[in-house]
Every structure is written in C-alpha cells, then in structure tokens.
Amino acid sequence: MSVSTERFYYSEIDKSLGVAGSLPYLPLTLSHQSQMMNVQGLLDTGSTVNVLPYQVGNPVFGTTGQD
C-alpha cells in the first residue's frame, strides 16, 4: 500500500506574531455560489477541531452571526 504525500513548507506570514507567524500554512480557496476568497490556513496535524474566523467566512458565506 502506498501513501500519497505532499510537502508544505513553513511560510512567514506575519513577523509580528513571532513563532506563530512562521508555521506551515496551506493556500485555500473558499467558495460559495458566485463568491470566492483565497486565504491561508494553518496546517495543524494535532488539532481536534477546525476554526474559520468570522471575518473570513462572513464575506464568502454571508453569515450573520444569527445562524
């Protein structure tokens, strides 16, 4: 059995974040109907949940915070 792998290199996103600004980020495209947004997502292989910040999801998905 072979496993497909892909490397994601550490990218310095924001120097003001210190160590947290130099972690493996993935390029992502979020889309809903005719809206699209390119963002960077943190690759965290030890996480148990995924979080989409409100300021990222609201313009794409039109969330109101009431959902």
| pLDDT number for residue 23 | 77
Name the pTM for this structure: 0.55
Q: Are 57 and 38 in contact (CB under 8 A)?
A: no
pLDDT band at 67 (very low <50, low <70, confident <90, very high): very low
Instruction: Report the distance separating Cα 13 and Cα 19, nearest Å.
Output: 10
- H helix intervals, the chain: 54-61
For the segment 14-61, what is each residue's pLDDT rounded down to a tens digit? 778 777 777 778 888 888 888 888 888 888 878 888 788 887 777 666
